[in-house]
Amino acid sequence: MRITFVAMGAFYIRVIIPLSLRGTFTYSVPDELIEEMIPGKRVVVPFGAKRYYSALIHEVNASLRQGQTTKEIEYVIDNEPIITEMQFRLWEWISEYYMCGLGTIMLSAMPGAMRLTSSSTVVLNPKSVDTDLLSEIDFDILSRLSLDESTSIQDIEKTMSKGKVQRSLDRLLKLGVVEIQESMEEEAKPKTIVFIDLNDRYNSEEALRDLMENLVRAPKQLEIVMRYLELSGYFDRSLQQVARTKLLNVSSASPAILNTLIEKGVFEKRVEMDSFDTNVEDVKASKFSEEQDRVLTEIENKWLSKMTVLLHGVTGSGKTNIYAELISRNNNSGQTLILVPEIALTAQLVKRMENLLGQKIMVYHSRFSNKERLTMWLQMLSDNEPKIILGARSAVFLPFKKLDLVIIDEEHDASYKQHESSPFYNAKDSATWLAAKFGAKVLLGSATPTVQSYYLTKTDKYALVELNVRFGEIKMPLISAVDLRSAHKDKKMQADFAPESVLKIKETIKAGKQVIIFQNRRGYAPFQLCEACGWSAECVNCDVNLTFHKYFEKLLCHYCGYSIKQPEKCPNCNSAKLKVRGYGTEKIEDDLEVLFPELRIARMDLDTTRKKKALENIIQAFSEGAYDILVGTQMITKGLDFEKVGLVLVMNADSLWNRPDFRAFERAFQLLVQVAGRAGRKNDRGSVLIQTFKPDHPIIALVKGHNYTGMFEEQLLDRRAFDYPPFSKLIKFQLSHKDAKFVKSASQFLAKELRQSFGERVLGPEEPPIARVRNRYLRQIYLKIETNLSASKSRNSIWQAIDLLEGHEDFRKVRCNIDVDPL
């Protein structure tokens, strides 16, 4: 039946445009398109000078303000909405709570391929397609693209009917005939898995017995063969495939020994695609400890009365197993979302989860290409939606149909908060909000929960479940401090290692174990200093020293990427006495090569893991025993399980707590406990050495005693005394401008306006520790407000002040970011 609208004048819609702008925009709809207007569909609209955007319908049947004029929409892209009602509610909540525009959220929330603009560039994807599906304009676009390798949408629009181009492109994108060109992202390659097969000639028991007798004098080779026979189910005839990594994990032999057996023709290597449905081993049988059983029951009981449960489980307590079991038990019609920190999203974790669950999970994060993310988004909207989704921060924006369980692993991790650019949302809080709307249960897990979350269990907002023992009767690591003062005084330091540290590394390697060395600074050295005149290299765009990167032979800015070639002489006085001060992971690696020339050393930091597979390759190689020592930044603390690590060495603990931040103490404790947790998995107790100039610092005692509650209580006293969160709420305003003068007066203006409503609660303006980044001068203002103050009233007052700032003639080019709950 055709619904007819009574002509009561024109029909208007309000749309969200993918630009960092506040508010939504009104357009008029031609009569023939009125029926197609449904929130969540995209339409092509003109905006600004000759530009077209795929905008989202947010509200239909909108009214017009008196005297307001509108433009008409050009075209409707979608037949069905691509944004659900619930997604809009989440965006609206984020927009209100984090004080940012819906367009800004749209930019973050949707894959790039879903928000085309005139400046997007498209390329042809050579792929056969059913031509019946294509319209005339599709053909025109395809023939245009076959002439040029890549073309911007704007250029295509010049020669064709404007609005129709984007609708057509959207269809071609979904069919996979064209792609949005991406410069930075690499395509995800299919993963492969290596299996080991026993050569057919050992099929008879006799041949096998001969083989074993031959290997008696090569015990390590014999061990691999024995382990292989166990894993393959040879003795009970169950015959399973044996993955190479698994075989190496259960035996103490090195990859080299396995290779010898392959060369001898005992084993054969077989490489297979890690495909979607096969090889999901069902290892659910891995039994739970009594403690884990208790914890599972306790979590389920607490969910009866509380939506959110915080699982405080020490490192190595087997939280992943608990998550998997809860998901299995919960497995009904709804969906499960598992959030993990971006860097922890490795093939190993996914594989392990899939094995535990005996089913496939959908993985979603921003390192996937636009095309892949578009495909996943559409799959979520289809009738065959994935049931278990594992992802980083941005997964919270997916179109869920019915969520009934949300698990947030490593809930203390700061990467859940988007801090580089607006929207400054926190995925942990956003997921919790979403769960409440769906009536879903939430589990937060961490060995070192945030003070904030733990406090919420004390005030009865969250339920608390504690798990204080490691899985498999593994003991907590033995932690001790190494006094750098005496080592320096006695001139006993070897490079940046205290004598005790060097000795312990030797012992650990001798015992056949591996070592992890932690330093929270990448590069070679943070300073290059002229000893003759005191000159040091500084960034031209930022107020920071350039970090010396020896491998690249460059001095590099970690804030803006500016770099210069390493000078041979001081540019100021021509002296050759250029010395480095301080040290980063690259220098540690260098020094280790001198101290232990016989050891194999790997490094894991931003510089060595930029390429897509690099991170996983390092993790895989280290866990297979291909390296003796792994040097890394805090990347190595994120949920990685290595089974043979006997020693963790922290190079310079003092740098962790010497920070101008009220969370410095909490953060230092979390980092130290997490990094210590990498030591001692199977078999015996691991050791942790913390090099410090202050061995009697209170954090050291708390970390040594694995005393989380001690840290919590101490911090809570501090926070209460100085009115910091969780006893107050913080909002940070960061102003920036190319001219220091403007940012100074603008920040004084804003602070004055804010004081009209908030008085003493306004702190600043002040210069941040790094007062200039990317050639923009920075000033910040903090607002510290009581938790019981009306949020909507506060927001209104803030917007009033911001409006005055933005409307002020002098400050038009001053940028102001509002960061609610900054981390």
Q: Which stretch binds Zn ion (CB under 5 A): 225-233, 299-307, 561-569, 761-769?
A: 561-569
Half-sphere exposure of 620 (CA within 13 A, CB side): 18
Which of 366, 541 has the CB closer to Zn ion?
541
Nearest residue (CB) to Zn ion, 481 versus 556? 556
Minimum distance of Zn ion from residue 778's CB (angstroms): 13
With contacts defined by CB under 5 A, name the span among 308-316, 466-474, 562-570, 810-818 that binds Zn ion.
562-570
Applying the rule CB under 5 A, the residues between 407 and 436 that interact with Zn ion are: none
Q: Any contact of residue 259 with Zn ion (CB under 5 A)?
A: no
Cβ at position 577, least distance to Zn ion in Å: 7
**Selected range binding Zn ion among 183-191, 204-212, 566-574, 644-652, rule: CB under 5 A:** 566-574
Position among 73, 440, 539, 673 found at the interface with Zn ion (CB under 5 A): 539
- Cα dist from 108 to 16, 105, 398, 643, 661, whole Å: 13, 5, 11, 38, 28
CB of 231 to Zn ion, least distance (A): 52
The tokens describing 427, both together, are 């995925």
Q: Which stretch binds Zn ion (CB under 5 A): 308-316, 441-449, 556-564, 737-745?
A: 556-564
How far apart are alpha carbons 255 and 802 in whole angstroms?
62
Applying CB under 5 A, among 324, 398, 542, 619 the residue interacting with Zn ion is 542
Nearest distance in Å: CB 567, Zn ion: 10
Among 397, 416, 562, 712, binds Zn ion (CB under 5 A): 562
Provide the minimum distance between the beta carbon of 542 and Zn ion in the complex, in angstroms, as a whole number. 3
For Zn ion, the closer CB: 345 or 570:
570
Please state at what angle helix 664-676 crosses helix 708-721, rounded to 10 degrees.
Answer: 170
Taking the least distance from each CB to Zn ion, the nearer of 531 and 661 is 531
406 with 308: CB under 8 angstroms?
A: no
State yes or no: residue 576 binds Zn ion (CB under 5 A).
Answer: no
Under the criterion CB under 5 A, does residue 535 sit at the interface with Zn ion? yes
Binding mask 752-791 for Zn ion (x = CB under 5 A): ----------------------------------------
Residue 690, Cβ neighbours under 10 Å: how many? Answer: 28
Among 93, 195, 559, 642, binds Zn ion (CB under 5 A): 559
Whole-number minimum distance, CB 520 to Zn ion, in Å?
19
Cα–Cα dist 32/7, whole Å: 12
575 binds Zn ion (CB under 5 A): yes
Q: Kindly tell me which of 570 and 731 has the beta carbon lying closer to Zn ion.
A: 570
Name 327's Cβ contacts closer than 8 Å, sequence gap at least 6.
Answer: 336, 338, 357, 388, 405, 407
DSSP assignment string, 589-640: HHHHHHH-TTS-EEEESTTTS-STTHHHHHHHHHHTTS-SEEEESGGGGSS-
Q: Give CA 44 to chain center in angstroms.
A: 33
**Under rule CB under 5 A, residue 573 binds Zn ion:** yes
Residue closer to Zn ion (CB basis): 280 or 560: 560
Nearer to Zn ion, 514 or 734 (CB): 734
3-state SS of 199-266 is CHHHCCHHHHHHHHHHCCCCHHHHHHHHHHHHHCCCCCCCCCCEEHHHHHHHCCCCHHHHHHHHHCCC
CB of 738 to Zn ion, least distance (A): 14
Find out whether 730 and 783 touch, Cβ atoms under 8 Å: yes
| DSSP 3-state percent helix, strand, coil across the chain (nearest 5) | 40, 20, 40
> Which residue number, 371 or 772, has a Cβ lying nearer to Zn ion?
772
**Among the candidate windows 139-147, 255-263, 557-565, 671-679, which touches Zn ion by CB under 5 A?**
557-565
Q: 457 or 545, CB closer to Zn ion?
A: 545
Binding-site size for Zn ion (CB under 5 A) equals 15
Name the one range near Zn ion by CB under 5 A: 257-265, 572-580, 616-624, 795-803.
Answer: 572-580
Q: Which span sits near Zn ion by CB under 5 A: 134-142, 458-466, 490-498, 553-561?
A: 553-561
Judged by CB, which is closer to Zn ion: 541, or 728? 541
Question: Which of these, 418, 364, 353, lies nearest to 391 by C-alpha position?
Answer: 364
Using rule CB under 5 A, residue 532 touches Zn ion = yes
The SS3 of residue 14 is strand
> Taking CB under 5 A as the rule, does residue 283 contact Zn ion?
no
Apex CA 818: angle with CA 815 and CA 821, to 5°? 155
Single residue of 256, 436, 533, 717 touching Zn ion by CB under 5 A: 533
> Minimum Å distance from CB 575 to Zn ion?
5
User: Of the ranges 285-293, 398-406, 536-544, 741-749, which one interacts with Zn ion (CB under 5 A)?
Assistant: 536-544
Work out whether 273 is an interface residue with Zn ion (CB under 5 A): no
Closer Cβ to Zn ion, 81 or 526, answer by number: 526
The one among 530, 631, 690, 798 contacting Zn ion by CB under 5 A:
530
Q: How far is the CB of 553 from Zn ion (least distance, A)?
A: 18
Q: Which residues contact 378 (CB under 8 A, 6 or more apart)?
A: 82, 174
Q: For residue 359, what is the enclosing H or E element?
A: none
Other CB atoms within 10 Å distance of the CB of residue 173:
20
CB of 583 to Zn ion, least distance (A): 21
CA–CA distance, 13 with 29 (Å, rounded to integer): 7
Least distance CB 560 / Zn ion (angstroms) = 3
Decide whether 540 or 701 has the Cβ nearer to Zn ion.
Answer: 540
Q: Which residue has tokens 């400050």?
A: 811
**Contact with Zn ion (CB under 5 A) among 86, 123, 560, 804:** 560
Pick 579 or 813: Cβ nearer Zn ion: 579
| Beta carbon of residue 266, minimum distance to Zn ion (angstroms, whole number) | 56
Residue 671, Cβ density class (10 Å: 0-12 exposed, 13-18 middle, ≥19 buried): buried
Under DSSP, is residue 56 helix (H, G, I), strand (E, B) or coil?
Answer: strand
Judged by CB under 5 A, the chain residues 73 through 102 that form the site for Zn ion are none
Residue 517 or 530 with smaller CB distance to Zn ion: 530
State which residue, 162 or 521, has the beta carbon closest to Zn ion: 521
The strand pair at 335-339 and 388-391 is best described as parallel
User: For Zn ion, which stretch binds (CB under 5 A), given 65-73, 488-496, 525-533, 779-787?
Assistant: 525-533
Backbone angles phi, psi at 388, to 5 degrees: -120, 120
- Let me know: does 746 contact 806? Beta carbons within 8 Å: no
Among 421, 486, 572, 709, binds Zn ion (CB under 5 A): 572
Amino acid at residue number 219: P
CB of 162 to Zn ion, least distance (A): 41
Rounded CA gap, 48 and 67, in Å?
20
Residue placing its CB nearer to Zn ion in the complex, 538 or 616: 538
Q: Closest CB to Zn ion among 376 and 578? A: 578
Residue 696: other Cβ atoms inside 10 A: 9
Owner of token pair 């979403």: 434
Strand bridging mode 11-16 / 25-29: antiparallel
**Stretch in the footprint of Zn ion (CB under 5 A) among 105-113, 143-151, 550-558, 710-718:** 550-558
How many Å apart are CA 311 and CA 709, to the nearest integer?
14
Q: What is the spatial distance between Cα 795 and Cα 814, in angstroms, rounded to a whole number?
A: 21
- Distance between CA atoms of residues 698 and 692, nearest Å: 12
Q: Establish if 557 lies at the interface with Zn ion (CB under 5 A).
A: yes
Binding site for Zn ion (CB under 5 A): 530, 532-533, 535, 539, 541-542, 557, 559-560, 562, 570, 572-573, 575
